Amino acid sequence: MQSATVTPTDHQLPQTLEPRNPGMALDLDWVRRAQANTSAIERRAKTLPGRRSVKKDYQAAWMLKAITCIDLTTLSGDDTEGRVRRLCAKARQPVSADILAKLGMPNLTTGAVCVYHDMVPTAVHALAGTGIPVAAVSTGFPAGLSPFHLRVAEIGESVTAGAEEIDIVITRRHVLQGNWQALYDEMKAFREACGNAHVKAILATGELGTLRNVARASLVCMMAGADFIKTSTGKESVNATLPVSLVMIRAIRDYYDRTGFRVGYKPAGGISKAKDAVTYLALMKDELGDRWLQPDLFRFGASSLLGDLERQLDHHVGGAYSASYRHALA
């Protein structure tokens, strides 16, 4: 039987320190020039799942890469400290030690753990010494409609509690009304409130109406200093999709070409299968290159994805599929 040990590939390169996006002055001419050819984007997106076919050790390498890019998330009204501690334990050891040993990958963690503000201290304590950052959803998540001063204060509270990453939600009406100055000012205030914590701007793309709005909102948030742009809260009826991802990724590429600063991307909601994760990674490689395959520039917002990735890796090393309950998240 062929060895299951994964050979290091170009998408397992170590991270390098990336300068943060400082933002820039709002360029309304650039924003208004941004367009989106919906039919062409949808045609391109339809080709993506079938274009890349990786097998055996190469497939396992891509799945291991996907695990390192997961923001392991629990955002439920019935979250408890015990559930968060179990989730953090899974983040520290996302795949069975036996499976990792057979793959030659003994040290593997997820990219971060994402929780509500109240659970930040629990997660910080559970992850102490691991290097795994805690991300907190903030600014009136998921609707983002609480008073502005409370949204800014919520960011400060989460940073004080130890969150190293803050996932904020924008005010959707600014986009729907084309009020780009208001969106820029809001995002800039959120970035300043985050201080040294990295900020991910959630666009809630399923509620923005058009792909053109997605493109323009992406540019404005990056101009205001977003470290990441993120598709969704996971609570909308439509979350991450390949057409939306293509629009946002190309906005990131345009911003990098113009400014020289790399901004990260986070698809969230609806990505639960290993094959979908590989498709998104292939899209990032095609459109932005290998540098964007590192967890400081790419994350999955997911809770159930890890279970399927572990099950597929178990099949890779053992030759048979195990029951899904053997790979429970927490």
Closest CA to 63 of 278, 311, 287, 254: 278
Query: Does residue 118 have an active-site annotation?
Result: no
Query: CB neighbours (10 Å) of residue 319?
Result: 9
* Whether the predicted model's global pTM rises above the 0.85 cut: yes
Domain positions in the chain are: 20-319
Closest CA to 228 of 302, 172, 292, 287: 292
Query: Does residue 266 have an active-site annotation?
Result: yes
Indicate which residue of 188, 230, 296, 314 is catalytic: 230
Which token pair is 36? 């989106």
For 222-272, give the DSSP string. HHTT-SEEE---S-SSS---HHHHHHHHHHHHHHHHHHS---EEE-BSS--
Provide the β-strand partners of residue 112.
Answer: 71
Cα of first residue to Cα of last residue in the chain, in angstroms, is 33
Query: Does residue 230 have an active-site annotation?
Result: yes
Indicate which residue of 266, 276, 308, 314 is catalytic: 266
Contact indicator for 231, 203 with CB cutoff of 8 Å: yes
Between strands 70-73 and 198-202, the pairing is unpaired
Most distant CA pair in the chain, distance: 62
pLDDT at 52: 57
Contact indicator for 206, 233 with CB cutoff of 8 Å: no
pLDDT at 191: 98
Between strands 70-73 and 264-266, the pairing is unpaired
Sheet strands side by side (includes 112-115) = 264-266, 228-230, 198-202, 165-169, 134-137, 112-115, 70-73, 300-302
CATH class of 20-319: alpha beta
The tens place of each residue's pLDDT in the chain, 330 residues long, gives 334 455 444 433 344 568 999 999 999 999 999 999 999 999 999 988 876 567 788 999 999 999 999 999 999 999 999 999 999 999 999 999 999 999 988 889 999 999 999 999 999 999 999 999 999 999 999 999 999 999 999 999 999 999 999 999 999 999 999 999 999 999 999 999 999 999 999 999 999 999 999 999 999 999 999 999 999 999 988 999 999 999 999 999 999 999 999 999 999 998 999 999 999 999 999 999 999 999 999 999 988 899 999 999 999 998 877 777 777 765
